[in-house]
């Protein structure tokens, strides 16, 4: 049994790297041109889009409030309801029924920018209230 010479041992890793580079180049050429002499062409892949797919997500500024949201906007606008200080919950200040889902309702109104952090109805909220009243 003959042992490989030191030149053969050095050539072996270089050959492996060289073969790997040739394979990589062949695959790159196939991907870029769709051409291959040894195997069928793979379909060209669309490069990934780096746009944020959710950049337009969010409520439509022309949303019409649900009945519960409309009643809450009307009550906040008239002062019958307020946001409890230090919380994100609606509270009734006068006569009449209070909100059924005080915390969830505030969150919905804030997400749509219909009320501000202090619980005041915004200009967008006032427009939403007008749309709800026109129904």
pLDDT digit string, tens, across residues 86-105: 778 888 887 777 777 777 88
* E strands present in 1-135: 81-83, 90-92
pLDDT digit string, tens, across residues 49-76: 566 666 666 666 668 899 999 999 999 9
* Mean pLDDT for the chain overall: 76
Q: Tell me: pLDDT of 134 over 80.
A: yes
Higher pLDDT, 100 or 115: 115
What's residue 14's pLDDT? 73
DSSP letter string, 38-56: SSPPPPPPPPPP-S-TTTT
């Amino acid at each position: 049994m003959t042992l490989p010479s030191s030149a053969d041992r050095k050539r072996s890793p270089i050959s492996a790297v060289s073969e790997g580079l040739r394979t990589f180049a062949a695959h790159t050429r196939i991907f870029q041109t769709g051409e291959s002499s040894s195997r069928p062409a793979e379909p060209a892949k669309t490069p990934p889009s780096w746009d944020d797919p959710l950049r337009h997500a969010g409520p439509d500024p022309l949303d019409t409030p649900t009945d519960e949201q409309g009643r809450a906007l009307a009550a906040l606008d008239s002062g019958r309801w307020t946001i409890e200080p230090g919380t994100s919950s609606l509270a009734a200040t006068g006569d009449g029924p209070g909100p059924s889902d005080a915390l969830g309702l505030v969150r919905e109104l804030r997400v749509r920018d219909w009320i501000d952090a202090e619980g005041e109805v915004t200009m967008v909220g006032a427009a939403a209230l007008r749309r709800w009243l026109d129904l």
